[in-house]
Amino acid sequence: MNPAGYERLQSQVIPGYGSLARLAVALLAASPVAAAPGAEVLVAGCGTGAELVEAVAQRPDWRLTAIDPSDEMLAESRQRLGVQSSIDWRQTTVEALVDGPGVAGRFAGALSVLVLQSLPDDGSKLAFLTALARTLQPGAQLVLVDLMQTSLPSLEGQLEAAWVGFQQASGLAAEPGAPNQGLHPIGLARLTSLVNAAGFGDPARVFQALGFEGFLLQRRA
């Protein structure tokens, strides 16, 4: 699927998707560490490049490291961005990246949009978050956006029905009971436990649309 097709699909599935990358970059650009000129920023799971497009537009001074385990996604992202001397592209995971020379404590900020939700909570989520924390300078922030479990179980059915309705109204055929298939959302209490164990402070919610929520996390000194 070409980048335009991927972006269109995501906008049919995720309420507010068209503003997510713009918001994520704006939040990180205003953070104490990444606000510095020429800051190094990690985009973990860059996909087809939505966050990179916004980062280049909002902060052309940033030096970006864009990683994704999928060669196909990286190829689409590179095609979309064109020649960008400010971007270091790597086909890898953050867990593998952080063990490379000079990576631990290197970045002034990081973006992770719609990545954690795809990892099972069998140690994989903690490993991902721990690796992200290790790449960051003390006090640096991570913008994390994912599908979350509702804190009000009584609303689960209504939220799921609303999500299906949103997709159908957006022109996408969606079947009741299927929107979470292949994803592993967790609740806020579990997320807080995981990010604290990984080396971050408590998550601060900065975005919510149905089950999708965005958080600012700060690496502890």
Q: Read off the pLDDT of residues 110-144 as tens digits, 9 standing for 90 and up.
A: 999 999 999 999 999 999 999 999 999 999 999 99
Q: Name the domain count of the chain.
A: 1
Which pLDDT tens digits describe the chain residue by residue (221 residues)? Answer: 555 577 788 888 888 888 999 999 999 999 999 999 999 999 999 999 999 999 999 999 999 999 999 999 999 999 999 989 999 999 999 999 999 999 999 999 999 999 999 999 999 999 999 999 999 999 999 999 999 988 777 888 888 888 888 888 988 876 655 556 789 999 999 999 999 999 999 999 999 988 899 999 999 98
Please give the pLDDT value at position 24.
Answer: 97
Please give the pLDDT value at position 179.
Answer: 59
Residue 67 tokens, joined = 């990683």
Please give the pLDDT value at position 11.
Answer: 83
Please give the pLDDT value at position 194.
Answer: 98
- Rounded to two decimals, the pTM is 0.92
Please give the pLDDT value at position 14.
Answer: 87
User: Which residues in the chain belong to E strands, given as ranges?
Assistant: 40-44, 63-67, 87-90, 107-113, 136-147, 204-209, 212-218
Range of the domain at 111: 3-218
Give Rg (Cα) of the chain: 17
CATH number for the domain spanning 78: value is 3.40.50.150
Q: Which of 117, 74, 115 is nearest to 95 (CA)?
A: 115
Strand ordering across the sheet containing 212-218: 87-90, 63-67, 40-44, 107-113, 136-147, 212-218, 204-209
Please give the pLDDT value at position 174.
Answer: 63
Please give the pLDDT value at position 44.
Answer: 98
Helix orientation angle between 124-135 and 188-198, rounded to the nearest 10 degrees: 50
